[in-house]
Amino acid sequence: MEQKKRIMSGMRPTGKLHLGHYMGVISNWINLQNEYDCYFSVADWHALTTGYDKTEQLKENVLNVVIDWLACGIDPKKATIFVQSTIPEIAELNIYLGMVTPQNWVERDPTLKDMAKILKNKEGQNSQIGFGLMGYPVLMSADIMAVNAHYVPVGIDQVAHVELTRDMVRRFNNIYHTDYFIEPQPKLNKCSLLCGVDGAKMGKSFNNDIKISDDEETTQKRIMQCITDRSRARKDDPGHPDKCEVAFKYWQIFGTEDELKNVEEECKAGKRGCADCKRQLAVKVNEYFKDIRDKRKYYENHLEEVKLILDEGTEKSRAISKKVLEDVRNIIGMY
Which positions lie near ligand ATP, rule CB under 6 A? 11-12, 14, 20-21, 24-25, 154-155, 157-158, 192-194, 201-205
Task: Output 97 or 144, the one with its CB closest to ligand ATP.
Answer: 144
Strand partners of residue 80: 39
CB of 270 to ligand ATP, least distance (A): 31
d(CA 266, CA 15): 38
CB of 44 to ligand ATP, least distance (A): 11
Return the number of other C-beta atoms located less than 10 Å from residue 36's C-beta: 21
Would you say how long the chain is, in residues?
A: 335
CB of 21 to ligand ATP, least distance (A): 5
d(CA 70, CA 48): 24
d(CA 304, CA 309): 9
Task: Output 225 or 231, the one with its CB closest to ligand ATP.
Answer: 225
SS3 state of residue 323: helix
CB of 64 to ligand ATP, least distance (A): 12
> Distance from CA of residue 132 to its chain's centroid?
19
CB of 103 to ligand ATP, least distance (A): 23
Task: Output 20 or 255, the one with its CB closest to ligand ATP.
Answer: 20
Task: Output 162 or 325, the one with its CB closest to ligand ATP.
Answer: 162
State the greatest distance between any 2 C-alpha atoms of the chain, in Å, as a whole number: 76
Task: Output 89 or 143, the one with its CB closest to ligand ATP.
Answer: 143
d(CA 296, CA 314): 22
**On the CB side of 218, how many CA atoms lie within 13 Å of its CA?**
9
